Structure 1
Amino acid sequence: MRSLPLTLVARLLPVAVLAAAGVAMTTSDDADARPGPSAASPHPSRTAPASPAPPSGGQGRGTAAPRYPRPPAEPCATLPAGTVKDLVPAAPTAGTELRTSDTAHRSGCSWHALSGFDYRWLDISYDVSASAAARARSALGGGPSTPVPGLGDRATVSLNVTTDGEQRIREAVVVARRANAVVTVTYNGGDFETHEAAGADEMRQGAVAAAKKALAALDG
């Protein structure tokens, strides 16, 4: 059995220890706060743009109210504990809420853990901002993605493999839209003993399963 790579050890340390070691945390008021890019993270850093300010004057006359005026207030409660245990073994089911400066329109949660030498990361994010639909159209219409029938109004899933040193990580990303809400699910993993990426079917199916639960939570 090989010892854990230093990159994984650093990834699993408490935030306070990471900060003391010099790993920066994003605290900008203009973006969601996630761990900054680092060789210590097999999970790529993705910082979504801040939602633009709504036009002055509020909604015009005759404009229908959005179906989802706010994202889930408790995003870490949107996935059942059983789903978290299946997709991220050994992770605390409570999850870690993703911080954002725009809580009126965006929320999210992440789970990550090491089980033996198998590493898994899962996160979900909700966006009901004025620009959410436009960003969803761009994400749904481009890149090497495939449609996911029966998921929301429209959904796609994409797969990607990255390499950090000898370690390969496979990531599946599902982008799903329902009315004015966009849900993005990211699921990735790899084996830190064999250095192989997690299986494509496992990542794809896991991300789609999480997206179904996340979408269902929009309606309570």
Structure 2
Amino acid sequence: MRSLPLTLAARLLPVAVIVAVGMAMPATGGSDAPAEPAGASPPPSTAATAAAPSSAPPRYPKPPSDACGALPASTVKELVPGAKTAGNELRSSDLSRRSGCSWHALDGFDYRWLDISYDVTSGAAGRVDKGSAISGLGDKASLSEELTTDDDQQIREAVVTVHQDNARITVTYNGGDFSSNKAASAETIRKGALTAAEKALAALDR
């Protein structure tokens, strides 16, 4: 789940010094600079011509209140066999900004874990995410994959992050076989994560 730009005061300091020096210098009558024509208009102010920030409200004022209902029961059964389709709500300290749900189960020796989370901001979501860019999902999306081994048990995980307007959706899906100690196939985990991301994205506009 960065360095700050120079402050406005720091950027304006050289200008303030120049203005102060200019005011302290006496005016001389022998300037070689050509006089401005009468009636000439001063150059337009940069501040006046700067585009005003948009006052439009964010598309998504809050995340889905029922994140566990974002995925159809059929999708949960397919991706997490043996899990309760109702899911487990992911607790958040700020439900006006974040919500989420998780499902996990051991079906025989086959283990699966899936969770989705929503995060909305007041402006466009511009966070840079790890992983490879994928097209056709939201305004922009990325996919990262990882294979880990713990006590000889392999687990493969895929994380899909989707941005749409001011909302960000993160889907995490992983699994392994506790009999063979092998991870689930890359195709299975990747496809499952993308399927869940598509369903979670669609739930934003319900």
Same-fold call, TM > 0.5?
yes
> What does the per-residue CA deviation read over 1:110-148, in whole Å, with 9 as the maximum and x for residues that have no partner?
0000001000000000000248824xx321xx4xx2222
What are the Cα deviations for residues 169-209 of structure 1, in whole angstroms up to 9, with x where unaligned? 00000000010000000000000011001100000000000
Q: Does 1:75 align with 2:61?
A: no
2:90 aligns with 98
Q: Distance in 2 between matches of 1:67 and 1:131?
A: 9
| Equivalent position to 2:198, from 212, 217, 220 | 212
CA 1:180–1:164 in structure 2 vs 1: closer, same or farther (change >3 Å)?
same
> What does 1:29-178 align with in structure 2 at a 5 Å threshold?
48=1, 62-130=54-122, 133-134=125-126, 137-139=127-129, 142=130, 145-178=131-164
In structure 1, what is the Cα distance between the partners aligned to 2:161 and 2:190?
12
- Calculate the TM-score normalised by the size of structure 2: 0.72
Question: Cα 1:118–1:131, aligned 2, differ >3 Å: closer, same or farther?
Answer: farther
> Structure 1: any 5+ residue segments left out of the alignment?
1-47, 49-59
Q: Which has the larger radius of gyration?
A: 2
Change (3 A) 1:125 1:131: farther
Contact 2:114/2:171 (<8 A) preserved: yes
Mapped contact 1:83–1:210 kept (Cα < 8 A): yes
SS of residue paired to 1:72: coil
Residue 79 of structure 1 aligns with an amino acid whose one-letter code is L
Q: For residue 17 of structure 2, what is the aligned residue in structure 1?
A: none
Q: Aligned partners of 1:61, 1:147: CA distance in 2, in Å? A: 29
Distance 1:155 1:61 in 2: 26
The residue type equivalent to 2:71 in the other structure is L
Query: Is the partner of 1:138 in helix, strand or coil?
Result: coil
Uncovered stretches (5+) of structure 2, i.e. residues with no partner: 2-51
CA RMSD of aligned residues (A): 1.6
Which amino acid is 1:114 matched to?
L
The percent of aligned pairs where both chains have the same amino acid is: 60
Partner SS state of residue 110, structure 1:
strand
8 Å Cα contact 2:58-2:122 kept in structure 1: no
Contact 1:132 1:182 in 2 (8 A): no
Number of residue pairs aligned between Structure 1 and Structure 2: 156
Change (3 A) 1:62 1:171: closer
d(CA) in 2 for partners of 1:167 and 1:62?
Answer: 51
TM-score of the pair, normalised by structure 1: 0.68
Aligned AA for 1:121? W
